[in-house]
């Protein structure tokens, strides 16, 4: 399965310059300087209040601009050292990510002992890098990663087979000590709560929509999903949500023997309850009694689709849509830091025509 290679970089190139430097440059270049009149109101925002105090020279010397600038430089330098150490260990770790299941396997370098983790900030930064491989969280705060940091900083002299676990940022972390071989970590998406299962649903298509296809949509902050309804399919709604146990039973009851074998083969890649943290594309149609009937039509990360559905990549390879296949779908694992992916390769999100 392909992994998205993209994202946005926010650049703020003027942060290193003072206001006086910027205004002087504008004056030299004949550029009008605009000053928001609300900046002069000390009560307008907390930022305005702080700005006034800094400019008034009424603060103690320890809180004036030169000392604060020095403090920010010290903090920034410390943060850079922690980031460099964390990145070094991350790069040397053996990381295998299976985008089909969203699971990651990590082995720390044998040369990295607990002493390398004495920098708590570096350990937390490393923990965040690992968690970002699997976590549905949009923001991971370093101060919330103490349990994982403790696993990373534990003494290497652990008995073989000792297992430690923790759960944070929507990820189950399992640490297994292998005597003489360091520590191994397995990360996978935690089973979502009932509230999460209801909340993490995205509508891909509605019957009244004038558009046949959907935009790429990010589901559970892990998978980009896209569909296109090619024909006059009798669906009132198509959405992506978490796979449920009853979905599999219903699917098996409505497909032939060959399709069942293909479904079982696809599900074998995600054993046990871990499969219920994966997305299913579900189509709703009106039943004979007028009730809405939901059925899974695609398990996008596992590569299975019901009759009438085809992956867009397959169409792109042979240039045509299969006979009797009016609907297309595609999926990408969201962008993550470089690692060894078990399936597929890195790709950008393509525009669909």
* Residue 296 · residue 281 · CB < 8 Å: yes
Q: Is 256 exposed, middle or buried (0-12, 13-18, 19+ CB in 10 A)?
A: exposed
The answer to whether position 4 is within a domain reads: no
Does residue 84 sit within a domain?
A: no
pLDDT recorded at residue 325: 59
Please identify, among 161, 189, 217, the residue that sits at the C-terminal boundary of a domain: 189
Residue where the block lists tokens 């002299």:
157
* Residue 353 within any structural domain of the chain: no
For residues 123-135, give the mean pLDDT.
95
pTM: 0.79
State yes or no: pLDDT of 347 exceeds 70: no
Least confident residue range of 96-100, 103-107, 175-179: 175-179
Structure confidence by residue, pLDDT tens digits, 177-224? 765 566 799 999 999 999 999 999 999 988 766 555 668 999 999 999
- Mean pLDDT check: name the lowest of 48-62, 258-272, 311-325: 311-325
Same domain, 136 and 227: no
Q: pLDDT confidence of 156, banded at 50, 70, 90?
A: low
Predicted confidence band of residue 62 (pLDDT cuts 50, 70, 90) = confident
3-class secondary structure, 121? helix
pLDDT at 311 over 70: yes
Q: Are residues 162 and 182 in the same domain?
A: yes
Instruction: Answer yes or no: is pLDDT of 54 > 60.
Output: yes
**What's the pLDDT score for residue 350?**
64
Given a cut of 60, is residue 341 above it in pLDDT? no
State the pLDDT at residue 339: 55
Considering the domain boundaries, does residue 115 fall inside one?
yes
Residues in the chain, how many? 353
Residues 222, 192: contact at Cβ < 8 Å?
no
Q: What is the average per-residue pLDDT within 123-142? A: 94
SS3 344: coil
Domain span at residue 179 reads 92-189
Mean pLDDT on 309-321: 66
What are the residue ranges of helices labelled H in 93-183? Answer: 120-131, 146-153
User: Domain boundary residue among 189, 204, 227?
Assistant: 189
What is the structure's pLDDT at 327?
Answer: 87
Same domain, 166 and 282: no
Does 167 map to a domain? yes
Total count of domains within the chain = 2
**pLDDT over 80 (residue 150):** yes
**Cross-strand partners of 174:** 165, 186
Most confident of 147-161, 209-223, 319-333: 209-223
User: Is the domain of 102 the same as that of 180?
Assistant: yes
pLDDT, tens only, 65-89: 788 888 989 999 999 999 999 999 9
Residue 239 predicted with pLDDT over 80: yes
Residue 41 lies in a domain: no
Spatial separation of the C-alpha atoms in residues 346 and 326, rounded to whole Å: 28
Between these two residues, 239 and 325, which has the higher pLDDT value?
239
Q: Which whole-number Å values give the CA distances from 203 to 32, 198, 232, 278, in the listed order?
A: 47, 12, 18, 16
pLDDT at 28: 95
Residues 249, 302, single domain; the answer is yes
Considering the domain architecture, whether residues 212 and 158 belong to the same structural domain is answered as no
* 105, 138: one domain: yes
Average pLDDT, the chain: 84
Sequence-separated (6 or more) residues with CB below 8 Å from residue 352: 213, 226, 228, 312, 330
Share of the chain above pLDDT 90, in %: 48
Q: How many Cβ atoms sit within 10 Å of the Cβ of residue 48?
A: 15
Is 108 inside any structural domain? yes
pLDDT band at 176 (very low <50, low <70, confident <90, very high): confident
**Consecutive H or E run containing 92:** helix 65-92
Confidence tier at 301 by pLDDT (50, 70, 90): very high
Whether residues 211 and 291 share a domain: the answer is: yes
Average the pLDDT over 60-64 and give the result: 81
Residue with the bigger pLDDT between 137 and 50: it is 137
What six digits make up the tokens of 301?
């990360």
Q: Select the more confidently predicted residue: 53 or 165.
A: 165
Dihedral sign of CA atoms 245, 247, 248, 254 in order? positive
In this structure, the answer to whether residues 329 and 212 fall within a common structural domain is: yes
Look at residue 252 and tell me whether its pLDDT is greater than 60.
Answer: yes
Q: Are residues 133 and 226 in the same domain?
A: no
Among the candidates 155, 189, 223, a domain finishes at 189
Q: Does 244 reside within a domain? A: yes
Q: What is the pLDDT of residue 205?
A: 87
Residues 235 and 285 in one domain: yes
For the chain, how many helices (H) and strands (E)? 9, 17
- Based on the fold, state whether residues 329 and 206 are members of the same structural domain: yes
């Amino acid at each position: 399965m392909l992994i998205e290679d993209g994202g946005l970089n926010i650049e703020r190139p003027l942060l290193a310059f003072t206001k006086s430097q910027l205004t002087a440059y504008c004056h030299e270049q004949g550029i009008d300087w605009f000053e928001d009149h609300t900046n002069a109101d000390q009560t307008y925002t907390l930022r305005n209040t702080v700005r006034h105090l800094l400019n008034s020279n009424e603060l103690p010397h320890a809180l004036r601009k030169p000392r604060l600038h020095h403090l920010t430089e010290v903090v920034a330098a410390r943060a850079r050292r922690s980031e460099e150490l964390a990145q070094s260990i991350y790069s040397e770790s053996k990381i295998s990510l299976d985008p089909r299941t969203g699971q990651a396997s990590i082995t720390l370098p044998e040369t990295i002992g607990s002493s390398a983790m004495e920098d708590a900030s570096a350990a937390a930064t490393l923990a965040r890098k690992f968690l970002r491989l699997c976590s549905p969280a949009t923001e991971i705060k370093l101060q919330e990663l103490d349990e994982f940091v403790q696993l990373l900083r534990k003494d290497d002299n652990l008995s073989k087979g000792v297992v430690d676990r923790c759960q944070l940022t929507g990820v189950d972390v399992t640490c297994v000590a292998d005597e003489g071989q360091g520590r191994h970590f397995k990360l996978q998406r935690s089973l979502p709560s009932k509230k999460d299962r209801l909340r993490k649903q995205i509508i891909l298509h509605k019957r009244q929509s004038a558009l046949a296809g959907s935009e790429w949509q990010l589901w559970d902050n892990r998978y980009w999903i896209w569909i296109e309804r090619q024909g006059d399919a009798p669906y009132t709604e198509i959405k992506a949500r978490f796979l449920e146990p009853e979905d599999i039973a219903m699917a098996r009851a409505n497909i032939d023997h060959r399709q069942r074998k293909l479904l079982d083969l696809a599900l074998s890649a995600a054993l046990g309850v871990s499969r219920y943290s994966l997305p299913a594309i579900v189509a709703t149609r009106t039943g004979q009694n007028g009730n809405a009937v939901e059925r899974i039509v695609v398990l996008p990360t596992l590569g299975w689709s019901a009759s009438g559905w085809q992956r867009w990549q397959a169409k792109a390879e042979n240039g045509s849509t299969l006979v009797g296949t009016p609907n297309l779908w595609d999926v990408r694992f969201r962008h993550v830091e470089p690692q060894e992916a078990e399936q597929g390769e890195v790709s950008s999100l393509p525009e669909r025509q």
